[in-house]
Chain A
Amino acid sequence: MNGYFADVGALARKDLLLELRARDTLPAMLLFVLATFVVFHFALPSGSSDLAASGLLWVAIVFTALLGLGRAFVPEREQRVFDALVLAPNDRSAIWVAKALATLAFLAGVEVVALPVFAAFFHGIGAATVGGVVLADVGICAVGTFVGAMATASRARELLLPLLFLPLAIPIVIGGVGASIVDSPGRYLGFLAVYDLIFATLCWASFDYVVAE
């Protein structure tokens, strides 16, 4: 088990180090989310309620995550690292765990900037929204990296990822929007936690089949 965590650590460290050197994904995601907020400002006519802005925050999060997820497996594909990783004598689900953690780090990094900016541009954000975002991030990264790996195996790749991901992300959006706009968000946060648990387990158990030939 210790070896498993060491594998996960090494793989996640590789992704973070790569990002630190190349700086491909994080600045792009950051710029994208800021641009989205500006678009939303003009998309919402003056006088629209704060509720609409809360909903759009979730649209921004999901699409920003999608941008990051689309890049997640690009280094593996371009340098043919995937083949080597699959051949390596470690548990293959470690590849997924590490990738999900690295993507989670990127997404969290973006949101640390994006949420205060959202609060400045639109309206204040409560603790429930932050909690919802944290729980949703886990689900988005778990499911997203999983379908990202699936999309990598196909010819359509970037085209396919949103198609595979968005239907699975609809429950996340429902839970997240619910948590940000109702007075007692407990049920929605609970739902997000259950979603994370169910899908993370499913991904963890079946990742082996996605990469194995």
Chain B
Amino acid sequence: MAVAIALIFFVAPEDADQGISQKIFYFHVPIALTAYACFGWGAWKALRHLWEREPGADLESYTAIHQGVIFGALTLVTGSIWARASWGVWWTWSSNQLVLFLVLFLFYCAYFMLRYSVEPGPQRENLSAVYALFGVVLIPVSFFAIRLANDFIHPTVFTSRGPQMSGTMFTAFCVALAAMLALAFTFYSVELVGKRVDARLRELRAAERPATAARRVPEAVAR
């Protein structure tokens, strides 16, 4: 991560048109790609849960989607800042990627609403997994839909950057992407460990409760 930041700020040349604001590209795009990776991983774990009943896949899927939503929100924020810096507006509907992330953000927020309004148990795991699978199908469908919508909402799509990047820029971009993926993976692992400990603790407490209840009954009788 530190290497990536150093590369971004000191090594990569400044963009001729956009100057310093172009640097956010090295954060924005890797964050967006990382969010996709998280959603994809979450859906893959959801599929494993439904198909092979892999134990723990539900929790992994949930954690991945949680990370995906965090990175998705960051994408919206960085994208918005970038839009402000280079186009002068905080929000633009002509940036397909931003609109797509807004749709996905809404979709995955509903995932949490769904998850937290169903009692914990096999049904919750199934519902979450099915919904996560809908998410990866929605990504390409929405992407094409938003592309189509541009035809009647904005006749000309203006592109924010040219396709070509110089060698050092590309290297910095790749390093930034790797750093971002590593960061997401670290968060994912830490959160997963925490969640597993939580679940285990809950199990232990549940197991302990009947025992303590049984111990209390004679006391109450004695009193």
Contacts and interface: CB of A to CB of B under 8 A. Distances in A.
B145 A170 contact: yes
Contacts of A153: 118, 123, 127
A199 interface: yes
A191 B141 CA distance: 9
Q: How large is the interface on A (under 10, 10 to 19, 20 to 34, 35 or more residues)?
A: 20 to 34
B152 interface: yes
A178 B152 CA distance: 7
The main secondary structure of chain B at its interface with chain A is helix
B201 interface: no
Contacts of A154: 114, 117-118, 127
Q: How large is the interface on B (under 10, 10 to 19, 20 to 34, 35 or more residues)?
A: 20 to 34
B106 interface: yes
B137 A198 contact: yes
Interface stretch (B63-71, B128-136, B191-199, B204-212): B128-136
A163 B103 CA distance: 11
B91 interface: no
B56 to A, nearest CB: 18
Contacts, number: 91
The main secondary structure of chain A at its interface with chain B is helix
A171 B142 contact: yes
A174 B123 contact: no
B130 A167 contact: no
Interface string B133-166: 1100110011011101101100000000000000
A170 B127 contact: no
Contacts of B152: 177-178, 181-182
Given A153-B127, A210-B126, A210-B130, A174 B114 contact: no
A191 B122 contact: no
Interface of A: 150-151, 153-156, 160, 163-164, 166-168, 170-171, 174-175, 177-178, 181-182, 187-188, 191, 195, 198-199, 202, 206, 209-210, 212-213
